[in-house]
Amino acid sequence: MTTYNRLFIGGDWVAPVTGDTYELTSASTEEPIGSVPAASEADVDVAVSEARRAFEDPDGWATWEPARRADAIDELANQLELRAEEMARRVAAQNGMPITIAKQLEGGFPLIVLRYYANLLRSSSFETQQPHLLGGTSTVRREPLGVVAAISPWNYPQTLASFKIAPALAAGCTIVLKPSPETLLDSFLFGEAVAATSVPAGVVNIVPGGREVGAYLVGHPGVDKVAFTGSTAAGRLIAETCGRLLRPVTLELGGKSAAIVLDDADLNLEVVGERLFESLLVNNGQTCYLGTRVLAPDNRYDEVVDTLAAFVAGLPVGDALDPQTMIGPMASALHRDRVEGFIDKGRGEGARVVTGGERSDRDRGWFVTPTVFADVDNNSVIAQEEIFGPVLAVIRYSDVDDAVRIANDSRYGLGGTVWTSDPDRGAAVARRVHTGTIGINRYLPDPSAPFGGVKDSGLGRELGPEGLNAYLNVKTIYS
Ligand code: NAD
């Protein structure tokens, strides 16, 4: 059991206002693994005022030379590196992410993101001068927006928090992070890492809470910018609040991306198996950008279905902490029930189960049997709704125009892939898909390039220089 009794606010471990707690459970064994205090609205008030105080400090974080802030961000990356194994273990235990993946992503990716922004900061200019068109000089400054409310989901709690924290810190903002109730033990370890650096008190504050606390934080008068990753439904509510308050907001929301298999694709699993796994199934399907709608050409339809079915049926399912595991459990019993509901719905709609489909026979853990549906109609629920589990729907297309039409026939537009032996042909198809990101024969987000969605998948971009701009106000001084 990992137990915390205090919250990380104002650079210190402070007693929470109420005695409410969150009990954390292993997704693989359903055993208790930890207990942490819950933040109330009163704790959020303290966290926002600490973040405000740290932001307004005339000698504080926002006023530091970029190189000094960059050094402190590197320090944070180094402190997280010291805790990377434990971080991966905590995330895997809580949300079911297989430990080998958790080490690479939750243990490793935030370090890459932090170091990328530290380096970007060292090479960025925050003030330029130009001749005023009507005579004189215009000085254009890029200044930190202020106090950031960062709200993260449970599927990649550390990685997705780093997409917000790293650029916000680089910009000179201060942060109140609200992690998701399913994954809190990792956020306390993150707090320990921050406490071990020279990042000043109050620059990073953490308020563990559910949607009510999140909504309270989003609308808090002391917040200047909101950065959210989570469901489209919650994103809409947050956008409404931010619209009313004219508060800048970045939204990374749901997805239902297409994996377009062209008729010249190499389907040899020895060659493409790992990349198919990363693009279609990683983290037990609990990943926003996965290409869970597989579009297969008429003339190779059966081959695509059989290949995917054999691949999915052969993936080792097991305890998330077992290094052999490729597919772990769902993050919660509620989510497992939701995914199973979609599988029932798919069968009811007439799609053909090729592998999986039945309830998991494990007596412990929130497991779902990895499932492939064939003969799926793109208008059906399992083709249009985000399932967020190890469930693939294979849809038939007649020619490339038909494939592009089906790929774009979705309310989402976050990720996607094109599978082909001809990269130029792949790029031509990729250009026609309405989405924020897309890969050719792979899908691997690049920390130095913008990431995000169109349509119901979100607003704005994280990562890359665009991700830094989202935390900066551009101010012009005429002289
Ligand atoms: P969720 O929307 O239920 O919760 C996400 C976070 O928002 C949690 O911390 C939650 O407590 C908080 N929250 C919920 N309602 C809120 C509200 N009204 N105001 C403020 N905060 C609120 O989502 P989830 O189930 O935790 O995560 C899964 C979803 O996240 C999926 O839809 C997935 O596609 C999406 N996601 C998107 C990306 C992306 O980059 N686009 C990445 C990962 C996950």
Query: What sign has the CA pseudo-torsion 117, 179, 145, 15?
Result: negative
The predicted structure's pLDDT at residue 203: 99
Helix (H, G, I), strand (E, B) or coil at 188: helix
Is ligand 1 within 6 A of the CB of residue 230? yes
The predicted structure's pLDDT at residue 23: 98
Pairing type for strands 225-229 and 454-455 reads: unpaired
* pLDDT averaged per 10 residues in sequence order, the chain, 479 residues: 98 98 98 98 98 98 98 99 98 98 98 98 97 98 98 98 99 99 98 98 98 98 98 98 98 98 97 97 98 98 98 98 98 98 97 95 96 98 98 98 98 98 98 98 98 98 98 98
Is ligand 1 within 6 A of the CB of residue 160? yes
Q: Measure the CA–CA gap between 474 and 470, rounded to whole angstroms.
A: 10
Is ligand 1 within 6 A of the CB of residue 288? yes
**How many Å lie between the centroid of ligand 1 and the Cα of residue 300?**
37
The predicted structure's pLDDT at residue 59: 98
The predicted structure's pLDDT at residue 105: 98
Mutate to test the pocket of ligand 1, among 187, 212, 252, 288 (most ligand atoms within 8 A of CB): 288
The predicted structure's pLDDT at residue 177: 99
**How many Å lie between the centroid of ligand 1 and the Cα of residue 57?**
32
Q: Identify the H or E element spanning 473.
A: strand 472-478
Q: Identify the H or E element spanning 35.
A: strand 32-37
Q: What are the catalytic residues?
A: 252, 288
Is ligand 1 within 6 A of the CB of residue 218? yes
The predicted structure's pLDDT at residue 408: 98
The predicted structure's pLDDT at residue 268: 97
**How many Å lie between the centroid of ligand 1 and the Cα of residue 188?**
19
Place of tokens 């947050």: 238
The predicted structure's pLDDT at residue 443: 98
Q: Whose CA is nearest to atom 40 of ligand 1?
A: 252
**How many Å lie between the centroid of ligand 1 and the Cα of residue 229?**
5
- Cβ count near 73 (within 10 Å): 25
